[in-house]
Structure 1
Amino acid sequence: MKKFENKIALITGSSRGIGKSIALELAKEGAFVIIHYTNNKLSAEQTLNEVNAIGGKGELVRADFMDTNSIDDLFSEVDKILSNKKIDFLINNAGLLEKSSIENVSEEQFDNMFNVNVKSVFFITKHFISIMNNGGRIINISSNLSKRPRQELIAYAMTKAAIDNFTTTLASTLGSRQITVNSVAPGATDTDMNKERFKDPIVKESIGNMNALKRVGTPNDIAKVVTFLCSEDGGWITGQYIEASGGAGL
């Protein structure tokens, strides 16, 4: 029997990148995966096709977290899929990064990042903890920038610091239900979000050499950490900030 047989997972932002890898890893172990996307339906369908190809099962849901009213659409769609069942894993992965210094960041950019990276996480979690099985898992995708911010990513780093704080408090709140809550913080990872940064192989190699393991991360590196935290073996870990960066800056 697969380790996540009869488990249901919702992964936000899972049409590509880290979220997609998480969906595939959980599906491979038997979880039914609810794949959320914003606009790229083709990528979401491709993710679901890959889930099906490995013998997994899942469904697609759409919501735009920059429009906070759209969160209600997510709730409605997921509730239909669940059909009175409860979820076991909530992976808050959807994120928005706007590269800008404090001198140049606009109020709109600031609001968009906080809506997607913080406000949506808070209210999505608020909704789903009421329909989560005891012993469930909540994993918030943070960033090592929350601890080591860079000037050109000041607002984005603030959103991830908020997520780390939320994680700690929520772990205490839900501990009596045996629900664990952790944040996983990738370092430099080769995703669509970083495609411009890594399009030059020399730059990619140089950044990788800043890590103890001498390469940049892959989405699957992060997905495997998440999968461990969802497993029974990860059940004694809660309220933690877990950096998955290959030893950035060591």
Structure 2
Amino acid sequence: MDQLGGKVALVTGASRGIGRAIAQRLAGAGALVAVHYKSNRAAAEETTDAIRRAGGRALPVEADLAAPDAADTVYAALDAGLKEEGLEAGFDILVNNAALGPAVPLAQVTPEHLDELLAINARSPFFLVQQGLPRLRDNGRIINISSLASRTAFPEAIAYAMTKGALDAFTLALAKEVAPRGITVNAVAPGFVETDMNAPLRESEQGRQWLASQSVFNRIGQPADIADAVAFLASGEARWITGQWLSVSGGSAL
């Protein structure tokens, strides 16, 4: 399949979990994928190596998204990587996937924790878009990974949910802002997915059963379930879809 042949995609938080699945899926559709990671280079190399073994193209991009100059660092690394590939600077798809989200109840949220959540989950997507738009080609795609928690009450993750609500609002306004250039902007909202975020809960059979029971299909979501939805929104087939919040949660909270 070559739906994204000739396209360049930047996926944040792509060294593991949902981000890794998205990077592999987009590469499988023909895109050259910039695999962003914070510090775990070994995990990022696992992602890029897997893509290359499957016949795709990938390059690593290292940056701490909590840093004030994160967007500058990301795009400097992306430009350098594209130059090494013999390509002009610029890209076609931005997937804002990286997020910090341990479950912390209201009474235990500290100012430092909230600041870090806001920096990674809301501020970094904002400035990656702001500074990326001159590089993002017309008819491009911006896909923000939101969460079911932004529209369903999960008090145990209240601060995380608030940051994802901010990302939802950003998605809606941004879709109208960039529409004259043919760029679409959508949010994909996973439910419970088998990733590091809920690994402690999955350690017990009772926990696994509870997670599975949240979906009408009685199973825990897999990263590939989310990646397939992202790949569709990144394709030309989704050209008439923008400003939308898509629940990819297996029918959780119906």
Same fold flag (TM > 0.5): yes
For this pair of structures, how many residues does the alignment match? Answer: 250
Where do 1:153-172 residues align within 5 Å?
Answer: 153-172=157-176
Match of 1:60 in 2: 60
Report whether the alignment pairs 1:129 with 2:133: yes
After TM superposition, where is structure 1 displaced by more than 6 Å over at least 4 residues in a row?
none
1:214 pairs, out of 218, 228, 232, with 218
CA distance in 2, matches of 1:81, 1:125: 19
Structure 2's unaligned 5+ residue stretches are none
Alignment match, 2:204 = 200
1:1-250 correspondence runs (5 A): 2-83=2-83, 84-250=88-254
Instruction: Tell me the CA shift for residue 207 of structure 1.
Output: 2.1
Q: Quick check: 203-212 or 159-168, which moved more?
A: 203-212
TM-score (norm: length of structure 2) = 0.95
> Normalising by structure 1, what TM-score?
0.97
Let me know the Cα RMSD of the aligned residues: 1.2
**Range 12-21 or range 59-68, more displaced:** 59-68
- Hey, what's the Cα distance between the residues in 2 that align with 1:117 and 1:11? 14
1:234 CA drift (Å): 1.1
Secondary structure at 1:52 match in 2: helix
- Cα distance in 1 for partners of 2:205, 2:133 equals 43
Whole-angstrom CA distance in 2 between matches of 1:5 and 1:241: 26
**1:56-89 deviation line (CA, Å, top 9, x unaligned):** 0111011111222233221211122234332010
- Deviation, 1:29, is 1.1
* Identity score, percent: 40
Q: Which runs of 5+ in 1 are unaligned?
A: none
